[in-house]
Each structure stands twice: as C-alpha cells, then as structure tokens.
Amino acid sequence: MRIWAITKRIVHQMLKDKRSLALMMIAPLLILTLLWAVLDNDAYEPKIAYSDLPGPFVDALKKTNAKLKQTDLNEAKKLLEDKAYDAYLEIKTAGGKPELKVLLEGSDLGANASVQQAIAKASKEMAPDTLAVQNSYLHGSSDLSMFDHTGQVMIGFFIFFFVFIVGGVSFLRERTQGTLERILSTPLKRWELVCGYIAGFGIFIILQAVVITLYSIYVLGIYNSGSILSVLLIDSLLAITALTLGTVLSAFAKNELQMMQFIPLIIVPQVFFSGIFHIESIGFLTVLGKIMPLAYGSDALSRVMMRGESIASVLPDIGMLAGFALLFVLLNILALKRHRAL
C-alpha cells in the first residue's frame, strides 16, 4: 500500500535524523523542567527594613517568612535603591492616629505582593478578633503553585510548537529537495501522500505527546485530578492538529526561514488564547480565540487536569480539534494541486 510506503519512509528518515528526534523528545522536557523550576518554587521571602515599630508588631512580623532589619529612613532608602531590601516600614502619627507607612522598592511585582502579604498576616496577628477567613477550594487546593495552574496550558503549547516546526519543515523540505515533484510524478494520489505523512509523523508526535505528558505528571508532579488517559488523548489530538497545520502552512513558505516566520505569526499568538490570560472583556480577542486550535486544546486540558472533568464533558473541545485537523488535511490535499494538476 502506497500510504504505508510513505509512512515507513518517514519512520526510517526520522530514526536516521537523531537531532530532530532529540529536538522533538528532549527539548520540550528541558523547557518544561525550567518552567517548573521557575514557577514551582516556594513563596518568595520578602526582606523588610523598619524603624520605630511597636514591639508586638515586630514580633508578629517575625512570625511571617519575612527577613527583618532595624534601620532608619536614610539607610533604608539606600538599601531599597540597591535592591538589597524590598520595603521599609515605620509608624507615623497623622491626625492623632498612628499610621503604618510602607515604602516599597516597587519594581518587582512578586516582592511587592509578598511584603503586603507579610504585613497583612502580622496585622491579623495583632487583632485576632477580626473576622477569620477560611478558604476552601472546589477545584485544586491552596498548595497549588503557579506551575500547576499554567503547566497544562504550557504542555499543550510546547507540543503544538515542536510538532509544528518538525512537521512543517520536513514537508517543506520534500518540496525544496524536489522529491515532492518526483512523488507526484508517480500515480500516487494526493490524499495518499497527505495521509502517509500524517501517519508517519503521527507515530513520533504521539510518542512525544505521551513522553511530555507522563514527564509533567509523574516527574514534575503537575496537578492532575482527571484521568491520565483523557490527558493523553487531548495531547495527542493537539499534536495531530499542529502537524496538519504545519504541513498545510509549509505550502506557503518558500524555505525554512519563511516557515520559521509563521511561528510569531501563527503559533505565539495562540498562547494569548490558551486561558493563561483573561480575555473575556476584550471583545475582538474572544472572537479570534474561536479560530485558535490551541484555545480548545488548553480548555480541554485545564478542565480535565484542574477540574477533574471527564472526557465526555470536553467532547466539544475534542470535536473542534478534530475538525481543525480535518480541515487542515483537506486544505493540504487541495494545496498540493499546485504541484500536480490531478
């Protein structure tokens, strides 16, 4: 069977091309690990300088994770300027009432928040009789890090990104090295070529999706409250969609560089629609999001992994992804008409 001949050839080629194989399998793991290291670390310990604070308040602050230093305003300003400390606290009396003055270094969003958290905690310690707040979570828990919240989307994105590159470039190379023309001078049908390609690369990209997913869940310990099989299915489908998108876009690139130019144009913008950012309030963006395959993949991943939903409840997303893949396959078969009339 001719489809099988193409599939087999791609497998042979991939196995010979160790570098591309490594790019597909190892590069995403490396990046995910870095991301995990950055996002999954413990809460930042704010460094706070102070002067003239009441003893009990200093004691309360000491109970937080903040690092404290007694100093005066002038030295504190210098410390903040050098970024050695994040904030300076002092009590000033204004209108007969004491007021806590907080001077923040300000350039680091995370540090600002940590300082404010520490102060809030210490204030509560000082006045325990105010309304106690007890948080509980319908989905997830207070232990979840930034990595748990954005990781699933990142898994989807990296699968999409690496598959797009490898699949798109190799289909393009088929054209630039002249083999596409030669293949099309045989009685092979255009749909057979496209199917053979997807089957051949499909083996590797599904393997890649499985490796990335298992690594994220079992090695990096990303939060997953859903079924791992559902996650694997969604990731694989996302990879197939990226592959078909890559191959169809390669028809519009003259060389590898032009293929790379699609990355900022087609791939990176998808991140904005992947659920990391809230875009509901921006009308035209929500409309654009409807045509972004990654948006559906991310939505499905986040529902399954974060909210523990079943595969049945993300069927609309899965349907959309499959629909995109099918559309891209058909477009590709059509685009090949430029190279052979029949």
Q: Report whether 34 contacts 220 (CB < 8 A).
A: no
Which runs of consecutive H residues, i.e. helices, occur in the chain?
2-16, 18-25, 27-39, 55-62, 73-81, 109-126, 146-176, 179-184, 190-214, 228-250, 256-262, 268-271, 283-289, 293-307, 315-335
Q: Which two tokens mark 146? A: 């930034």
- Give yes or no for residue 23 binding other proteins (CB under 8 A): no
Q: Show the tokens assigned to 175.
A: 């054209």
Establish if 178 lies at the interface with other proteins (CB under 8 A): yes
Among 42, 186, 278, 312, binds other proteins (CB under 8 A): 186
The Cα–Cα gap between 315 and 323 comes to 12
5 is a contact residue toward other proteins (CB under 8 A): yes
- Closest distance of CB 47 from other proteins, Å: 56
Q: How far is the CB of 209 from other proteins (least distance, A)?
A: 24
Going by their DSSP bridges, the two strands 47-51 and 67-70 should be labelled as parallel
Among 31, 73, 184, 203, binds other proteins (CB under 8 A): 184
Q: State the virtual CA torsion across 276, 278, 283, 286 in degrees, nearest 10.
A: 30
Cβ pair 77, 90 in contact under 8 A? no
From 21-29, 47-55, 105-113, 175-183, span contacting other proteins (CB under 8 A): 175-183
Pick one of 63, 92, 182, 290: the residue that binds other proteins (CB under 8 A).
182
**Binding-site member from 141, 185, 225, 258 for other proteins (CB under 8 A):** 185
Strand order through the sheet with 97-104: 67-70, 47-51, 87-94, 97-104
At closest approach, how far in Å is the CB of 2 from other proteins? 6
Q: Does 9 bind other proteins (CB under 8 A)?
A: yes
| Min separation Cβ 28 and other proteins, Å | 23
Considering the rule CB under 8 A, would residue 63 count as an interface residue with other proteins? Answer: no
Supply the DSSP symbol for 314. Answer: G
CB of 336 to other proteins, least distance (A): 11
Q: Which is nearer to other proteins, 184 or 207 (CB)?
A: 184
Token pair, residue 120, equals 């809030």
| Residue with Cβ nearer other proteins (25 or 288) | 25
- Does 92 contact other proteins by CB under 8 A? no
Query: Is residue 78 part of the contact set for other proteins (CB under 8 A)?
Result: no
| The length of the chain, given as a count of residues | 342
Phi, psi angle pair for 267, to nearest 5°:
-85, -50
Shortest Å, Cβ 158 to other proteins? 26
129: phi then psi, degrees, rounded to nearest 5: -85, 0
Residues numbered 145-164 forming contacts with other proteins, rule: CB under 8 A: none
339 binds other proteins (CB under 8 A): yes
Q: Which residue lies nearer to other proteins by CB, 16 or 278?
A: 16
CB of residue 30 to other proteins, shortest distance in Å: 25
Find out whether 206 and 234 touch, Cβ atoms under 8 Å: no
Q: Could you tell me the two tokens for 142?
A: 């207070």
Q: Which is nearer to other proteins, 189 or 307 (CB)?
A: 189
Contact residue for other proteins among 31, 188, 228, 311 (CB under 8 A): 188
Q: Tell me whether residue 68 or residue 336 sits nearer to other proteins (CB atom).
A: 336
CB contact at 8 A, 57 and 90: no
Query: What is the binding site for other proteins (CB under 8 A)?
Result: 2, 4-5, 8-9, 12-13, 16-17, 177-179, 181-189, 339-342
